[in-house]
Chain A
Amino acid sequence: QVQLQESGPGLVKPSQTLSLTCTVSGGSISSGSYYWSWIRQPAGKGLEWIGRIYTSGSTNYNPSLKSRVTISVDTSKNQFSLKLSSVTAADTAVYYCASLQMGGAFDYWGQGTLVTVSS
């Protein structure tokens, strides 16, 4: 069974870049069976999709975040990563990584990691 684990700083200063990594275990990120995705959730609010990447490096991003987001994949480490630039307090949220079925459904999720943007 695929397992995902987010890691990265829990505190980021305004205007800086948020960087998170998701480590995949129990399966190869290069298998081609999934897209790999980032989703976030501000406290007390709903889910917001950030973007996805395929093993080839092909990406799709949320149009509202596209100018600030980069998702990359490192197949040698079985990891994929998120970079969100020029962060503000509005980017404070729990960030989840998840596997995305080809047909369109997030079937495996990480436990989530809280990132707070504050000086």
Chain B
Amino acid sequence: QSVLTQPPSVSAAPGQKVTISCSGSSSNIGNNYVSWYQQLPGTAPKLLIYDNNKRPSGIPDRFSGSKSGTSATLGITGLQTGDEADYYCGTWDSSLSALHWVFGGGTKLTVL
């Protein structure tokens, strides 16, 4: 069971918008930056969003991130079939008396 909770799956049609939620607590999301990763089938994860809402060079502005309290959200607009992938959120967690990184369980995006 992951410390960060994501929906197992989301789906939407090409061209539409989808959001993926990531719910945590004050020991993780509430006091730390959140990052998001895209994992296409058979490949390594790729950084999409860092520091809650910043995009690395080369990531299109169709991808956006936000954070409010102990939850974060990844938004994807103008969906393309190439966006079909697993998406993970991640952040630091200060529980268990030791700073450690935690990932969400992942969300599978299907573009119908």
Q: Report which A residues bind B (CB closer than 8 A).
A: 37, 46-49, 52, 60-63, 66, 96, 100-101, 103-107, 109-112
The answer to whether A109 and B99 touch across the interface, beta carbons within 8 angstroms, is: no
Q: Report which B residues bind A (CB closer than 8 A).
A: 2, 32-33, 35, 37, 43-47, 50-51, 56, 88, 90-92, 96, 98-106
Q: How far is the CB of A91 from chain B (nearest CB, A)?
A: 17
Q: Do A111 and B103 form a contact, CB below 8 Å, given A47-B88, A105-B51, A106-B35? A: no
Tell me the complex Cα distance, A49–B4, Å: 13
8 Å CB contact of A60 from B35, B45, B88, B100: B100
The answer to whether A96 and B44 touch across the interface, beta carbons within 8 angstroms, is: yes
Tell me the complex Cα distance, A47–B105, Å: 7
Taking CB atoms, residues of chain A closer than 8 Å to B50 are 101, 103-105, 107
Tell me the complex Cα distance, A96–B43, Å: 11
8 Å CB contact of A63 from B35, B43, B98: B98
Give 19 A-B pairs besides A103-B50, A104-B101, A105-B35 with Cβ atoms closer than 8 angstroms: A37-B101, A46-B2, A46-B105, A47-B106, A49-B101, A52-B101, A60-B99, A63-B98, A96-B44, A100-B101, A104-B33, A104-B35, A104-B91, A104-B92, A105-B47, A106-B37, A109-B46, A110-B44, A112-B44
Closest to B51 in A: A103
Taking CB atoms, residues of chain B closer than 8 Å to A110 are 44
Tell me the complex Cα distance, A63–B88, Å: 20
8 Å CB contact of A109 from B45, B96, B106: B45
Tell me the complex Cα distance, A111–B44, Å: 6
The answer to whether B45 and A107 touch across the interface, beta carbons within 8 angstroms, is: no
The answer to whether A60 and B98 touch across the interface, beta carbons within 8 angstroms, is: yes
